Structure 1
Amino acid sequence: MSAARTRQSTLSSIIKRARDIMRKDAGLNGDTDRIPQIAWLLFLKAFDDMEDSRTVTDPSYTPALAAPYRWRDWAADATTRRSGDAMLDFVNDDLLPHLRELRGSGKAGDAKQNLSDIFGETRNRMLSGYLLADLVDEVNKVSFTSADDIHTMAHLYESMLREMRDAAGDAGEFYTPRPVIRFVVERIDPKPGEAIMDPATGTGGFLVEAWEHLVAQTKTAKQREALRGSLRGFEKKPMPFLLGQMNMMLHGVDGAQIARGNALTFSAAEQRREGVDVILTNPPFGGEEEDDVKTYFPTGLRTPETSWLFLQSVMERISRSKTGRAGVVVPNGVLFADGVGGRIKKKLLEKFNLHTVLRLPNGIFSPYTPIPTNVLFFDNTGPTKDVWFYELPLPDGRKNYTKTKPLRYEEFADCESWWEEGNLTKRVANDQAWKLPAADIAANGYNLDMHNPNRPDDLAHRPPRELLSELIATERQILDLLEGLKVQIEGDAR
């Protein structure tokens, strides 16, 4: 057996034993409890290993944690560490409160600030101090000073995130299929020296892929060091924030400035001022923001629908960069909506170049949501002249994706070839790709839900769940329109 296989086997065994321990604890119910529990312990072990390594290579470095709160102090030695009630008391009443109360610079990326943000709402959910001690012993067997172990653990961790999505159901919106992420990142092609953001970071999939894309373009340690601080993001939910921080640490992402908060709570001027070159994101859709969040947006473009607010935010954030560009995953309702949605799309086409709409096959996020999804690719090179549409088909003989038969990156091969064979002015129409002038789209009320002219629209064979989802999305857009009219009327009355 190869050394790599041995490492994977060893680490897999550690994770299996850890999960077996957690299954015995009455305070943990399913993977939605167990994975966050092991994630924050893994984070503290990884953090301590990396702090220890950094103090060796950089004697001037001041560690973020001191005794007795470092992993090496309270968890590393099985012969002296606490157990039972003593372990619970230390973790619940001493360790976690200390981590929450750390005061850093207040800036995203600051080590103390990260710890405070991560553990601000993290709780130990285990009720048995003996089982917690056993779990700590298993986590302590993972070495985060070995590049090979870190690489292997990163892959294991990603499989855990997929399981987290499977267990979370509707709450799993923060996991985007890796093939979609990879395709979007490679098409946007972020470069060293550019500022890259995901304003809805989730578990960090887009930023991890962007980092690996950047690292592949470097040849020296100095060039890689220059990437530090390239990545930025926001995540308002505590659990995906924790999972994302661990994901980025495992993938060696250096100096990412991820803020624990809502990216939508900034004025348009602030978003432009803090602009970036690249945005890669799959913002949550189907949800609504609080009323005060809407006030950060122009009166005629206000809506509670999260995906519309994020689309506006993305436009603002790339508007100052001459190379500003974005890849944004959106639900089908964004394509065909009118009212407020139509006005937002009007702004998109008039201010930016929406050059490509990638229509993803049904069931990309099944069975967690049946809502059809798309990716909008646009840049800051001027108004849209033409919009290319590419319809990614399901594999032959398939009607949908499942957990056991998910989307594979190889299914993007034809689209990738079509994309790379010509630039925007030399693209060629085919059975999956067609072009529409922006003027025609404007004349049709900015409807982007365009039927593939090369394929008949057989409604009788479309999945009922898909049709129902589109009806629900339409109803939501009607409500948005009514709310927009109400806001205008109230404004006129004043």
Structure 2
Amino acid sequence: MGNQDIVQKLWNLCNVLRDDGITYHQYVTELTYVLFLKMMKETNKESILPEQYRWNSLTERHGMALQQHYRQLLLDLGNEGNETVKQIYMHATSNINEPKNLEKIITSIDQLDWYSAKEEGLGDLYEGLLEKNASETKSGAGQYFTPRPLIDVITKLVDPQPGERCNDPAAGTFGFMIAADRHIRSQTDDHFDLGQKESEFQKYQAFSGVELVKDTHRLAMMNALLHDIEGEIMLGDTLSDDGAILKNFDVILTNPPFGTKQGGERPTRDDLTFTTTNKQLNFLQHIYRALKANGKARAAVVLPDNVLFESGVGAKIRADLMDKCNLHTILRLPTGIFYAQGVKTNVLFFTREKTDKDSTKDVWVYDLRTNMPSFGKRAPLTVGHFDAFVAAYIAEDRTKVEDERWNVFTREDIRKKGDSLDIGLIADESLSAYDNLPDPVASAEEAMGKLEEALALLGEVVAELKAIDAKPDSDEEVNGKEQHERKNRYEQQNSEFAKVAEASGVYGDE
């Protein structure tokens, strides 16, 4: 049994909890409490747990005795003992009201093929569960879960190296940092090429993050632990004073939350140069200020379209970014790849330079949005969709890349646009049907001419009718031949009027 099979079996267990009214997100959190204990047993790390709260303490109890023991376990593990354990179980409460449901979950987890799971990696198993949760739109989890293919491509291009301090100020489930760790492990033979000191740095100091939501922070802690990462994941708000101490990073990879601060209030940090209620603009300020100003520190950040074109303070922040950093690449992402289907997003790639003025010379933009398929659950985004972009990004000479989606804009071009970065989108083929429409001014003039002709003919018809009505209809003044001629002339004029009026649209569909 592979990890995907195990993930599906674990996911199916949520059906057991429906009667308890538990949501998808609550289910994953609840599952994390139980899975952590089982995984500590399977990885021989139960020593970090009090003996009375290890896995076997759950399997040997039943009914109400099991439920009472479980609730006490959650309370005690969140208040005492190992620091990592405390953070995972901090403020933990169970929403499972039926003892039989709790017992069913514990029994089912105990019977899974854990040998196969360990062979494939327990971290990958847990990430698979988080990804499954994000793909279920009812769970709402997709709003903070960045698609794995996008994370992998971004991480590959930013290329974090051993010894570099990496951070995600909006960590979510810690996906970016886990991808960065995986990237470095692949380059160092799983750290075997590193010395002991360097290896310990990678485990304890290289990767850090901040997460605001308690339950999401819990998932991030579990995810990191199962990937053998023990860097600091702060429970807090980057846009508060908590974030002011986050500085001097070599690499920042992140997808900040969308929207404004709750209630529309401004961030409580007083060290940001520009104040705004726009969360993404504040995160952007934090990110380029938190990088080392050494010409090597770099970032990739996922941002919605409004960050590219918002005027006022938005334009000032973009100008400040381009002064302090070399904003060398923007990737316009396809729509439909996030939980919020209508949100249009981009990835900004930049390097923090040593100077604070005129660091950006040219901005290369790749349009992966226009004329792309509609992505979603049935048509998932894959790494392969980024192949052409990756080729353009890493090209030794970007000017020689022949791809209509790949365009460059000078800093002067952008300055003329009011420092708007809403640039680089190619022609939309869905609009090509309108390309051969006649000039609207010429069409309007032609229609007016036809209407004037129709009105003139109508005037003649009215005048003729009045003339007929004015003369007495008698054999003495109007013989049969004249009557016949007038009738024919009237019908001819009326026919001509009808043709002109129809051509000019006077009659319409009726």
1:88 corresponds in structure 2 to 67
Compared CA separation, residues 268 and 247, structure 1 to 2 (3 A): closer
Task: Specify every segment of 5 or more residues in structure 1 that has no aligned partner in the other structure, as ranges.
Answer: 1-5, 56-62, 104-111, 462-494
SS in 1 for 2:241: coil
SS in 1 for 2:316: helix
Map of 1:139-288 to 2, 5 A cutoff? 139-142=109-112, 146=115, 148-149=117-118, 151=120, 153-165=122-134, 166-168=136-138, 170=140, 172-219=142-189, 221=192, 223=194, 224-229=199-204, 230-250=206-226, 252-266=227-241, 270-272=245-247, 275-288=248-261
Cα distance, 1:222 vs structure 2: 6.0
CA distance in 1, matches of 2:336, 2:381: 9
Contact 1:22 1:135 in 2 (8 A): no
Compared CA separation, residues 159 and 395, structure 1 to 2 (3 A): farther
SS in 2 for 1:347: helix
Compared CA separation, residues 321 and 49, structure 1 to 2 (3 A): farther
Contact 1:364 1:373 in 2 (8 A): no
Contact 2:304 2:343 in 1 (8 A): yes
1:39 aligns with 2:32: yes
Cα distance, 1:98 vs structure 2: 0.9
Cα distance, 1:259 vs structure 2: 1.4
Number of equivalenced pairs: 423
1:374 aligns with 2:346: yes
1:326 corresponds in structure 2 to 299
Compared CA separation, residues 276 and 132, structure 1 to 2 (3 A): same
CA distance in 1, matches of 2:287, 2:272: 18
2:480 corresponds in structure 1 to none
2:16 corresponds in structure 1 to 21
The amino acid of 2:388's aligned partner reads: D
Cα distance, 1:36 vs structure 2: 2.0
1:392 aligns with 2:368: yes
SS in 2 for 1:172: helix
Compared CA separation, residues 228 and 435, structure 1 to 2 (3 A): same
Contact 1:18 1:139 in 2 (8 A): no
TM-score of the aligned structures, taking structure 1 as reference length: 0.77
CA distance in 2, matches of 1:405, 1:456: 21
Contact 1:32 1:167 in 2 (8 A): no
Computing the radius of gyration from Cα coordinates, the structure with the larger value is 2
The amino acid of 1:221's aligned partner reads: F
Compared CA separation, residues 11 and 312, structure 1 to 2 (3 A): same
1:64 aligns with 2:48: yes
Cα distance, 1:31 vs structure 2: 2.1
Identical columns (%): 28
CA distance in 2, matches of 1:88, 1:148: 27
Point out the more displaced range, 256-265 or 185-194. 256-265
Compared CA separation, residues 159 and 271, structure 1 to 2 (3 A): closer
Contact 1:352 1:384 in 2 (8 A): yes
2:313 corresponds in structure 1 to 340
SS in 1 for 2:52: coil
CA distance in 2, matches of 1:352, 1:261: 27
TM-score of the aligned structures, taking structure 2 as reference length: 0.75
Deviations, residues 191-223 of structure 1 (Å, cap 9, x unaligned): 011011111111121111111101001135362
Question: RMSD of the alignment, in Å?
Answer: 3.0
